[in-house]
Amino acid sequence: MHVEEIRWLRRGACRSSDPELFFPLAPTPAQEARAKAVCAGCQVLRECRDYALRAGEAEGIWGGLTPEERRRSRFPEGWRRPAAS
């Protein structure tokens, strides 16, 4: 990750939040909901989400999405099915 690429992170609403909320050792639905609530009011949500999807960030909440939600976004259901011939 290049610093230039995430310069927008300085304006992120999570800057003043507990990092454990966004990168928990043991994620729970309640923790994810609290982190997403912070993201919902963040002025750089779009940049953050685009970056995380592009970079393939595998851990933590980025742009209001969990790792699983990012995986699903990058690889929609059915993407492995063979094309109809």
Going by the annotation, the residues of the binding site for [4Fe-4S] cluster are 14, 39, 42, 48
**Listed ranges 12-20, 24-32, 73-81: which one lies at the site for ligand SF4 (CB under 6 A):** 12-20
Residues 61/31, Cβ–Cβ less than 8 Å: no
Q: Figure out which of the listed residues 1, 3, 5, 9 binds ligand SF4, where binding follows CB under 6 A.
A: 9
The reply on whether position 13 binds ligand SF4 by CB under 6 A is yes
Structure-token pair, residue 5 = 């690429």
Question: Chain centroid to CA 56: how far?
Answer: 9
The reply on whether position 48 binds ligand SF4 by CB under 6 A is yes
Structure-token pair, residue 44 = 């750089």
Question: Chain centroid to CA 3: how far?
Answer: 18
- Enumerate binding residues for ligand SF4 (CB under 6 A): 9, 12-14, 22, 38-39, 42, 44-45, 48, 61-64
